[in-house]
C-alpha cells in the first residue's frame, strides 16, 4: 500500500511538472482517485519539501514553483515494457497496462529536456493510432489479461477454446500476442507445434502452475509474417477473370486490399467505355461469389466458367427474391 501511494505521489509530481497548473478534479481524473485523495497527496508532497503552490480563483489550481524539476523518474520493469505500447493506449488498457503506461510516459517526459518534451507533446497531440477496423466493434476479450500475464511470466495455460467445429480444451505454452485489425491473437506452443488462437474465442484460461522455457531464437514478428503469408496463399488459390468499370477500378483496392492492387497491375487496355479486364485472386467459389457481388453492376465475371455460373445463379436468385414484393403490389 505504501509503495502504491509513493508511486501515485510521483505521478502527481510529474503531472504538475509536465503539464503545469492543474486543478484537483483534473489530477483526480488522471490518477483515477478521489479529489479528497488529491488534497491529501498534495499535502504529503509539501511535507516532503516539494514546492507545490495552490492558486485560488476560477483559473486556479496546483503548480510547482517556477524552475523546480525533479529527476526521480526511474522506470519500473513493467513501465519500461509498456513503452512499446505507447502509441496504442486502447490495447494497453486491454492488456491491463493502462495505468502503468501512463506512469511510464510521465516519467520519460519528465526526464526529457524542455525542447524534446515539447516535441513529444506535439506528436501526442497530432498523431493517433486507432487499431480496430471501420464499422466494427472490437472483439470482447475477457481472458486477455490472464493470457497476457501468462505470456509475460512464461506460464503454461489450460485453455477452454471455441473452434468452428466445437469446443476443445488444450494445454498451451503462450509465446506472444498479436493485435491485427483490432483482433487479438495468441501465438502458443501446443502439442510441440506453434499455433495461433483468436483470444475472443478463449472461454477460460487457467494457469497450470508450470513455467516453461521459450524456444531459443523464436521471433514473434517473423512467425506472424510467415503465418499470414501461408494463410493468404491457402485461402486465395483461385483466379477470377473480370471485366470492370472505371468506378470498380477505384473500388478494387478498397474491397480486396493487396489482391485488388495486384489485379489492377495486371489490367489490360481500356475499351471505349473505360472498362478493363483484370485477373483477381479469390478465395473458394462460395466466398468469391459474395465478394464479387459487392462490386454490383460495376464488374462482370468472365471466368472461370464455374464461378461465372455461380455468380449468375446468385444474381438470378436475388432478382427473383426482390421481384416478388413488386409483383404482389402490382397485382393488388
> Which residue shows C-alpha cell 393488388?
332
Scored b (16 or more CB within 10 A) or e, 34-70 reads eeebbeebbebbeeeebebeeeeeeeebbbbeeeeee
Over 50: is that where the pLDDT of 1 sits? no
pLDDT band at 121 (very low <50, low <70, confident <90, very high): low
Rg (CA), the chain: 28
In this structure, the answer to whether residues 214 and 260 fall within a common structural domain is: no
Looking at the chain, the whole-number percentage of residues with pLDDT higher than 90 is 38
Return the pLDDT at 278: 94
Report residue 2's pLDDT band, with 50, 70 and 90 as the boundaries: very low
CATH of the domain at 161: 2.30.30
pLDDT value, residue 134: 64
Average pLDDT over residues 84-92: 52
**Residues 80 and 182 placed together within one structural domain of the fold:** no
220 inside domain: yes
Residues 227 and 179 in one domain: yes
Half-sphere exposure of 120 (CA within 13 A, CB side): 17
Give the structural domain span for 256: 236-327
Cβ atoms of 79 and 103 within 8 Å: the answer is yes
Classify 178 in phi/psi space as left (phi over 0), alpha (psi -120 to 50) or beta.
Answer: beta
Q: What's the CA gap between 186 and 198, in Å, rounded?
A: 6
Are 305 and 326 a contacting pair, CB within 8 Å? no
Over residues 140-193, the pLDDT tens digits come to: 888 888 998 899 889 999 999 998 888 999 999 999 988 887 788 999 999 889
Q: Which residues contact 133 (CB under 8 A, 6 or more apart)?
A: 181, 182
Whether 242 is covered by a domain: the verdict is yes
DSSP 202-224: EEEEEEEEEE-PPPTT--HHHHH
pLDDT in tens, 21-38: 899 999 999 888 899 999
End-of-domain residue from the set 233, 250, 278: 233
Instruction: Indicate whether 9 and 98 sit together in one domain.
Output: yes
pLDDT, one tens digit per residue, over 98-111 is 555 555 555 555 55
Q: Are residues 121 and 222 in the same domain?
A: no
For the chain, how many structural domains are there in total?
3
Q: Which of 183, 199, 233 is the last residue of a domain?
A: 233
pLDDT band per the 50, 70, 90 thresholds, residue 17 = confident
Using CA atoms, how far apart are residues 112 and 244, in angstroms rounded to an integer? Answer: 55
Give dist(CA 325, CA 216) in Å, integer.
65
pLDDT of 132: 64
Question: How do residues 296-305 score in pLDDT, each as one tens digit?
Answer: 999 999 999 9
Per residue in 204-263, pLDDT tens? Answer: 999 999 999 999 889 998 999 998 888 777 766 788 999 999 999 999 988 888 889 989
Do 100 and 205 belong to one domain? no
Per-residue confidence (pLDDT) for residue 316, from 0 to 100: 93
Least confident of 26-40, 56-70, 77-91, 249-263: 77-91
Residues 227 and 275 in one domain: no
Given a cut of 60, whether residue 85 has pLDDT beyond it is: no
Instruction: Provide the Cα torsion 303, 306, 308, 311; round to 10°.
Output: -150
Report pTM: 0.55
Amino acid at each position: 500500500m505504501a509503495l502504491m501511494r509513493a508511486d501515485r505521489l510521483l505521478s502527481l509530481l510529474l503531472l504538475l511538472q509536465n503539464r503545469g497548473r492543474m486543478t484537483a478534479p483534473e489530477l483526480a481524473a488522471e490518477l483515477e482517485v478521489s479529489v479528497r485523495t488529491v488534497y491529501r497527496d498534495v499535502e504529503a508532497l509539501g511535507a516532503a519539501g516539494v514546492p507545490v503552490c495552490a492558486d485560488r480563483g476560477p483559473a486556479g489550481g496546483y503548480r510547482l514553483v517556477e524552475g523546480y524539476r525533479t529527476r526521480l523518474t526511474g522506470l519500473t520493469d513493467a513501465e519500461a515494457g509498456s513503452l512499446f505500447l505507447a502509441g496504442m493506449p486502447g490495447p494497453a488498457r486491454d492488456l491491463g497496462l493502462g495505468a502503468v503506461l501512463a506512469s511510464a510516459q510521465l516519467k520519460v517526459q519528465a526526464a526529457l529536456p524542455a525542447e524534446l518534451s515539447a516535441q513529444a507533446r506535439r506528436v501526442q497531440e497530432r498523431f493517433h493510432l486507432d487499431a480496430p477496423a471501420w464499422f466494427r466493434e472490437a472483439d470482447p476479450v475477457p481472458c486477455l489479461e490472464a493470457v497476457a500475464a501468462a505470456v509475460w511470466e512464461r506460464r503454461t495455460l489450460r485453455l477452454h477454446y471455441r473452434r468452428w467445429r466445437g469446443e476443445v480444451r488444450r494445454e498451451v505454452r503462450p509465446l506472444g500476442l498479436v493485435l491485427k485489425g483490432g483482433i487479438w491473437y495468441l501465438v502458443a506452443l501446443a502439442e510441440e507445434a506453434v499455433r495461433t488462437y483468436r483470444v475472443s474465442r478463449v472461454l477460460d484460461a487457467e494457469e497450470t502452475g508450470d513455467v516453461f522455457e521459450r524456444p531459443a531464437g523464436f521471433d514473434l514478428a517473423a512467425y506472424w509474417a510467415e503465418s499470414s503469408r501461408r494463410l493468404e496463399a491457402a485461402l486465395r488459390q483461385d483466379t477470377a477473370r473480370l471485366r470492370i468499370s472505371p468506378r470498380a477500378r477505384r473500388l478494387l483496392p478498397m474491397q480486396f486490399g493487396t489482391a485488388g492492387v495486384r489485379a489492377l497491375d495486371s489490367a489490360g487496355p481500356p475499351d471505349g467505355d473505360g472498362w478493363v479486364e483484370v485477373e483477381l485472386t479469390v478465395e473458394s467459389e462460395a466466398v468469391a461469389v459474395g465478394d464479387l457481388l459487392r462490386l454490383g453492376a460495376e464488374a462482370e465475371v468472365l471466368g472461370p466458367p464455374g464461378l461465372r455460373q455461380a455468380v449468375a445463379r446468385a444474381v438470378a436468385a436475388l432478382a427473383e427474391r426482390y421481384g416478388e414484393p413488386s409483383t404482389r403490389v402490382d397485382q393488388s
